[in-house]
Amino acid sequence: MGDSRARRQFRVLYRNFLAQIVDTELIATHGDPSRLLAQIGALLISISIILAIEILPQYRKATAAQIRLGAWGDQEFLIGITIAVIGVFTVFAWDSIFPSRHDTLVLASLPIRQNTISRAKLAATGTGLAVCLIAINGVIGLAYPFAAGGVRTFFAYWTTVTAAGLWIFCSLVALQGLAALTLTYRRFLKVSNALQVASFFAILAVFFLTPGPLDLDVSHGIPDAARLLPSFWFLGLFQTLNASAQPTFAPLASRALATLIAAVSTAALSYAIAQYQVTRRIVEEPDIVPADRAHPPSRVFPWVVRRATANWKPLDRAILLFIARTLTRSRLHRNLMAVFGGLGLAISITYAKALLYGNSQMYALARRYGFQTPHWYEPNTPLMAVGFILLILAVLGARVVFSLPLAVRANWIFRITDMQSPAAYFAALRKSVLTLIALPVWLVVAIFYLSVWGGPEALGHMLVLFCIGLIAVDLALSGFRKMPFACSYLPGASNLRIRLPIYGTVFLAAVDIGTRMERNAFESAARSMLLASALVALLSYARRRWNKLASWQLEQLQFDARPITDVAPLDLRGDGAYGRNQRYLDVLDTPPEPSLRQRAWRFARKTAIATACLCVGGFVYEQISELRNPLPPRQGRSIDIGGRSLNYSCVGQGSPAVIFENGSGGAGMNWTGLQREVAQYTRACWYDRAGQGWSDAAPFPHPASAIADDLHRLLGAAPIAPPYVLAGLSSGGICVRVYAKRYPPDVAGMVLIDSAHVDEDDSITPPGGGYIPYFPQGLSVLAQILRPIGALRLIMPAGALSPFETRTFAESLKEEMVYESHVEARAVRSLGDIPLIVLTAGRHRVNPPESPVEAREQLARENKWIEAQKQLARLSTHAQQRVFPEAQHNLLADRPQEVLKAVVDVVSAVRASSHPGSATN
Amino acid sequence: MLELRGVTKRFSGIPAVDNVSFTAHAGVVTGYLGPNGSGKSTTIKMITGLLEPSEGSILYNGTPIEQDLIAHKMRLGYVPEESQLYPHLTGAEFLEMVGQLRALDEKHLREKIDGLLHLFLLYDDRYVAMSSYSKGMRQKILLAAALLHNPEILLLDEPFTGLDINSALVLRNLIQELARRGKVILFSTHELDIVERICSHVVILHKGRLAADDSIEHLRVLMSLPKLEDIFAQLAVEQDTEKVTGEIVELIEL
């Protein structure tokens, strides 16, 4: 009888404790704990599936040796994510592990043994733990071991993740247990919450700070800092159990085992003692202890508030104090703010990871790939992004937290004292959010930016942050009609599961793009003004939107998530009092909402006016810029090639004549320096292609074959007698190859200067993927439209524009260099035996890589480029390739002497050969 | 004076309060009685403006309260039946918040709060969060909050709940004194002996309808019953209490 009663009690308590594990105020369960666990399990399983899809494909082609040496990164990541998930679960279940006041006071008077209560609590906690562990490893844990090894790997994997999960769980329980045993119950409650929040941040920080296989060089041993990371200890354990040949991580296995044993034993002991000690303390401690009477909650805070809000209205002050006190004293709301803080921390670390590691060993491998850590003391995109992330997440977190009620039935006091207009309450709320949420973040980041960076960039960034903060607050609160913490809440009504991923993706993209735009804006006064105008327009929009919704005459303060379904009577008495807050006559007098057509017309009108203003401003900006950046004095002379003219310049005497073909968007005069040098050996000529420099514009389309024909007509009209040595830079290399195919007797030699070329193994993609009709024409027309209103100049990097480039960019789009010209160039299969030198640059980086992944990809692209250029060297039987691994793409500027040498070598080879065109003029 | 005329409140078509009319005069303590579920709290919530009547009207000095609800709330002091308070605030903080929400002068507010806390013997616990307060302490805070702005109308719903004897005596005397100073006091309770001591007029509700609206003296004469308890039992109590008692005892002895 006693045993069966104990079993029944155990089952009832187990179910009750299982429901308490995760705070059900946040998640809708309709009172069903199994449904809650199923939801959590489903979320974790979906993560496991995504991991499997991401990780497994590369193992299909890898050999066993490659897996042994290179798979440690994936293994460490899977162990790390297990530790993070179990750690976060333990943090969320923090209050349900040890005896609570509620458990003690409710269960103490019932005939239940303490032993039964303890076992039920342990079983419930164990169930939650097991669900999380199995769910996060369910799919990947079945597939990965067999992809990376076999049966032994399977057992090693599951043993390791179970040990890692147990370690983090027991470590946190031990931490809480030691606090429970050493502190008074009240002090323990205060400290416990601080430990909970700190543990949450620590788990996220360690997970996101852990370097990956692209960052960390383990070929010479594990760096000391990495040895401190728990995921590496358990990686060592896995490697040992799996009998991996790689000895690097095996020594860490003993650390894993030692800490696991320590954590489990400390947790078990502290839990066992705490079960009785804490219960006794709860029962014996009075409601109010003398210490509570002696110390006011805070002396400083009320004094500061009174001074700072001396001119505020009483309502504003009341709302501010209520929000501040609730946020700081309510465990639920504090923890939810901590979740947003943790998110902000995680995203910030991801952005600024490289800055944190600096030049330490943790990023040694990344540096080998060419990644250079930005200097934290100079303005940089990652640190700028951190300010945005913290500010926006703080505001969003506050908005979410305000929706969660605290003692919702106590909101009667707000209803009873509802003596002001709803607009007054909304204004008070806005003021409080700006003061309590946005202002502290502004101050912290301001101190950081101004002290680390100083100068105009820091001030500029602070101004931008200030505007973004105001915009974020107005947009977050527009339509928010509730008294914070005082409106009932429907769990699940906000559809966070759907909104969060969508909003999160948009938010991250916006932060990334916005930060880059801001950095670009600081490079020129015009862009800064444009940015400022955009911010002012957004500010104005956000403020008007907030004002409109806050002061709408039928607006009411909301206290119930669901309105009371009570049909008010018709105003049959005709006395104008339809309802308390909805005067019937006022409803009649309210102007009707504008129709969709009217709203569309208004929007179109405003957009047209704004566009016109922007165009006028842009036109003025472009004219002023062109006046400040005039074209240089004309060089060369113009010659008619049949209906339009081209500009060219020739100096020197001799044969073969060297003809320089420029890259896309450039001007022929860029060759002037080299032309003078080459003129000492032979006749040297450059020209401006149609639409570039001082040449007339070209018809559309204007592929490489048309350019070659133009050149041929120019050379005939000038006249410049063949043979020629053609030197083509970048896309000019395509033109000279196509010329050689169309006019082979004229070409005696060729120099390809980092010529544009598509690898023969790759297909040539038409512009717009071939799916967008008239894409190149459209792009060219668009560029023609944007140029006179200064839009092109704004887009281009500041200082990278020659006076020609804004004028000729639109024209260069007509050349269709991306597609048709490449097709024509690919058709050039052989240049015979003419002397050919291919110059190849190894660096094609416009901007330094911003992450190790980007650095690695960039290096791979550059290596592929160098390999692909070898194909050009096969065009002639008398060819050589010269590679300059550290040189930039524009070899004419970066390696002018090498270009000169190559040209002179080809001229000499032409003269020395028996080619008919080698005779001198 | 506070007047209810034909006030009805329906929830999903079912009347919780059905055509109730009575008047609470200034200077008189009006007791408002009725069994559980008779509609007392619903009536009081309609008077406070928390609920809107389905029919009828509530007037103060002849003017419907919905014509200027804000002015009505400014003159109203309310002690709810359930002591729902924000547990994380201290007593002093809660009173300060109420005073600020009512736009009371800051200097006088501080003085009033300290004074009331002293008088209600809560001054030593002013820094303690109300989550630690006993039921009686919370009740005193509610009373202090209701009196802070010197209301003209005082609605008290079970104000003696949890109060110790000393505090109950103070409250009893306070109610009488406030009535003498011309306040309208509507006082709802189950404690009939207190009603007999301090109320001169009673309104009895039964199943949402008015069962009695008269002075206690007059009711005694009308119904020839000496005690209010007997009058109440006749008008509003349906159960045979002795029979119920017997059945309960039999049940628990099963």
At A494, is the pLDDT very low, low, confident or very high (cuts 50, 70, 90)? low
Per-residue H/E/C for chain B = CEEEEEEEEEECCEEEEEEEEEEECCCCEEEEECCCCCCHHHHHHHHHCCCCCCEEEEEECCEEHHHHHHHHHHCEEEECCCCCCCCCCEHHHHHHHHHHHCCCCHHHHHHHHHHHHHHCCCHHHCCCEHHHCCHHHHHHHHHHHHHCCCCCEEEEECCCCCCCHHHHHHHHHHHHHHHHCCCEEEEECCCHHHHHHHCCEEEEEECCEEEEEEEHHHHHHHHCCCCHHHHHHHHHCCCCHHHHHHHHHHHHCC
Contact B127 A297 (CB under 8 A): yes
Percentage with pLDDT > 90 across chain A: 31
Asked which of A386-400, A513-527, A574-588, B206-220 is least confident by mean pLDDT, the reply is: A574-588
Greater confidence (A871 vs A41) lies with: A871
What pLDDT was estimated at residue A245?
Answer: 55
Mean pLDDT of all residues belonging to chain B: 87
Contacts of B55 in chain A (CB under 8 A): 569
pLDDT at A469 over 90: yes
Average pLDDT, integer, range A128-157: 89
What is the maximal distance between C-alpha atoms in chain A?
120
Spatial distance between the Cα atoms of A103 and A275, rounded to a whole number of angstroms = 11
What pLDDT was estimated at residue A577?
Answer: 40
What pLDDT was estimated at residue A919?
Answer: 36
Contact B48 A416 (CB under 8 A): yes
A307 reaches B (C-beta below 8 A)? no
Where b means 16+ CB within 10 Å and e means fewer, A342-365 reads bbbbbbbbebbbbbebeeebbbbb
Quick one: tokens of A830? 């052989």
Residue A273: closest CA among A182, A343, A364: A182
What does the DSSP 8-state code read for residue A867?
A: H
SS3 A497: helix
Written as one string, the DSSP assignment of A357-375 is HTTSGGGHHHHHTT--PPP
Spatial distance between the Cα atoms of A54 and A545, rounded to a whole number of angstroms = 43
What pLDDT was estimated at residue A640?
Answer: 93
Average pLDDT, integer, range A759-783: 74
Per-residue H/E/C for A190-230 = HHHHHHHHHHHHHHHHHHHHCCCCCCCCCECECCHHHHCCH
A413 reaches B (C-beta below 8 A)? yes
Quick one: tokens of A370? 């060419």
> Which residues make Cβ contacts (< 8 Å) with residue B43, sequence separation at least 6?
B4, B7, B9, B17, B20, B32, B205
What pLDDT was estimated at residue A910?
Answer: 94
Contact A325 B100 (CB under 8 A): no
Q: Which of B90, B98, B132 sits opposite A417 (nearest CB)?
A: B98
Average pLDDT, integer, range A811-840: 83
Q: How far B15 CA lies from chain A's nearest CA (Å)?
A: 12
Let me know the angle formed at the C-alpha of A22 by A16 and A25, rounded to the nearest 5 degrees. Answer: 95
At A69, is the pLDDT very low, low, confident or very high (cuts 50, 70, 90)? low
Let me know the angle formed at the C-alpha of A840 by A837 and A841, rounded to the nearest 5 degrees. Answer: 150
Nearest CA in chain A to B132: A287
At A569, is the pLDDT very low, low, confident or very high (cuts 50, 70, 90)? very low
> Which residues make Cβ contacts (< 8 Å) with residue B168, sequence separation at least 6?
B160
At A789, is the pLDDT very low, low, confident or very high (cuts 50, 70, 90)? confident
Quick one: tokens of A389? 């992330």
Asked which of A278-282, A313-317, B56-60, B113-117 is least confident by mean pLDDT, the reply is: A278-282
Residue A321: closest CA among A333, A334, A308: A308
Beta bridge partners of A660: A686, A727
At A818, is the pLDDT very low, low, confident or very high (cuts 50, 70, 90)? low
Contacts of B89 in chain A (CB under 8 A): 322, 325
Nearest CA in chain A to B77: A416
Asked which of A854-858, B83-87, B189-193 is least confident by mean pLDDT, the reply is: A854-858
What pLDDT was estimated at residue B14?
Answer: 84
First to last CA, chain A: 120
A406 reaches B (C-beta below 8 A)? yes
What pLDDT was estimated at residue A302?
Answer: 72
Contact B125 A293 (CB under 8 A): yes
Contact A293 B66 (CB under 8 A): no
Contact A292 B127 (CB under 8 A): yes
C-alpha A364, offset from chain centre: 23
Nearest CA in chain A to B127: A296
pLDDT at A29 over 60: no
Q: Which of B66, B88, B99 sits opposite A580 (nearest CB)?
A: B66
pLDDT at A239 over 50: yes
Tens digit of each residue's pLDDT (9 = 90 or more) over B117-160: 999 999 999 888 898 898 889 999 999 999 999 999 999 988 88
Spatial distance between the Cα atoms of A659 and A714, rounded to a whole number of angstroms = 11
Contact A318 B78 (CB under 8 A): no
- pTM score: 0.78
Percentage with pLDDT > 70 across chain A: 84
Nearest CA in chain A to B10: A566
Backbone angles phi, psi at B210, to 5 degrees: -75, 125
Q: What sign has the CA pseudo-torsion B93, B95, B101, B104?
A: negative
Contact A410 B66 (CB under 8 A): no
Residue A730: closest CA among A839, A577, A579, A809: A839
B134 reaches A (C-beta below 8 A)? yes
Average pLDDT, integer, range A849-878: 85
Beta bridge partners of A659: A685, A726
Tens digit of each residue's pLDDT (9 = 90 or more) over A346-378: 888 888 887 777 677 777 777 776 777 777 778
Contacts of B49 in chain A (CB under 8 A): 415-416, 580
Average pLDDT, integer, range A829-847: 89
Contact A416 B106 (CB under 8 A): no
B14 reaches A (C-beta below 8 A)? no
Q: How far A443 CA lies from chain B's nearest CA (Å)?
A: 28
Nearest CA in chain B to A428: B101
Contact B99 A410 (CB under 8 A): no
What pLDDT was estimated at residue A878?
Answer: 93
Which of B81, B82, B85, B101 to mutate against chain A (most A CBs within 10 Å)? B101
Which of A298, A323, A416 to mutate against chain B (most B CBs within 10 Å)? A416
Which of B11, B94, B100, B148 to mutate against chain A (most A CBs within 10 Å)? B100
Q: How far B119 CA lies from chain A's nearest CA (Å)?
A: 17
Neighbour count for residue A431 (Cβ, 10 Å): 19
What pLDDT was estimated at residue A85?
Answer: 93
Contact A566 B54 (CB under 8 A): yes
Average pLDDT, integer, range A441-460: 88
Q: What are all long-range contacts of A493-502, with beta carbons under 8 Å and residues at least 24 apart? A: A493/A561, A494/A403
A314 reaches B (C-beta below 8 A)? yes
- Angle of the A114-148 helix axis to the A151-182 helix axis, nearest 10: 150
pLDDT at A519 over 90: no
Let me know the angle formed at the C-alpha of B70 by B68 and B71, rounded to the nearest 5 degrees. Answer: 70
What pLDDT was estimated at residue A465?
Answer: 93
Quick one: tokens of A790? 């200064």
Mean pLDDT of all residues belonging to chain A: 82
Q: Which of B66, B73, B129 sits opposite A417 (nearest CB)?
A: B73
H-assigned helices in A629-693: 672-678
SS3 A404: coil
At A497, is the pLDDT very low, low, confident or very high (cuts 50, 70, 90)? low
Q: What sign has the CA pseudo-torsion A838, A841, A846, A851?
A: positive
Contact B54 A288 (CB under 8 A): no
Spatial distance between the Cα atoms of A682 and A900, rounded to a whole number of angstroms = 12
What pLDDT was estimated at residue A443?
Answer: 92
pLDDT at A403 over 60: yes
Greater confidence (A705 vs A222) lies with: A705
Q: How far B57 CA lies from chain A's nearest CA (Å)?
A: 11
What pLDDT was estimated at residue A628?
Answer: 78
Cis omega (within 30 of 0) for bond into A699: no
Quick one: tokens of A50? 């995504």
Which of A413, A415, A565 to mutate against chain B (most B CBs within 10 Å)? A413
C-alpha A598, offset from chain centre: 38
Contact B101 A414 (CB under 8 A): yes
The answer to whether residues A594 and A548 touch, using CB atoms and an 8 Å cutoff, is no
Q: Which helix (H) or strand (E) holds A729?
A: strand A724-729
pLDDT at A440 over 80: yes
Spatial distance between the Cα atoms of A329 and A340, rounded to a whole number of angstroms = 17
The answer to whether residues A395 and A433 touch, using CB atoms and an 8 Å cutoff, is yes
| Block residue for tokens 């990495």 | A226
Spatial distance between the Cα atoms of A875 and A832, rounded to a whole number of angstroms = 7
Asked which of A109-118, A150-159, A411-420, A577-586 is least confident by mean pLDDT, the reply is: A577-586
Tens digit of each residue's pLDDT (9 = 90 or more) over A887-921: 889 899 899 999 999 999 999 999 998 544 433 33
Contact A566 B132 (CB under 8 A): no
Neighbour count for residue A921 (Cβ, 10 Å): 12
What pLDDT was estimated at residue A579?
Answer: 45
Residue B146: closest CA among B178, B122, B118: B178
Contacts of A333 in chain B (CB under 8 A): none
What pLDDT was estimated at residue A801?
Answer: 58
Spatial distance between the Cα atoms of B207 and B35, rounded to a whole number of angstroms = 8
Q: How far A568 CA lies from chain B's nearest CA (Å)?
A: 7
Q: Which of B84, B125, B129 sits opposite A412 (nearest CB)?
A: B84
Contacts of A292 in chain B (CB under 8 A): 125, 127-129, 132
What pLDDT was estimated at residue A917?
Answer: 43
SS3 A685: strand
Quick one: tokens of B94? 């809660």
pLDDT at B201 over 50: yes
Residue A211: closest CA among A346, A76, A341, A82: A76
Beta-carbon pairs below 8 A across chains A and B: 111
Which of A185, A418, A419 to mutate against chain B (most B CBs within 10 Å)? A419
**Residues 98-117 (B) with a CB less than 8 A from some CB of A:** 98-104, 106
pLDDT at A794 over 60: yes
Contacts of A317 in chain B (CB under 8 A): 100
Burial class (CB in 10 A: 0-12, 13-18, 19+), B13: exposed
Half-sphere exposure of A444 toward its Cβ, with a 13 Å CA cutoff?
Answer: 12
At A585, is the pLDDT very low, low, confident or very high (cuts 50, 70, 90)? very low
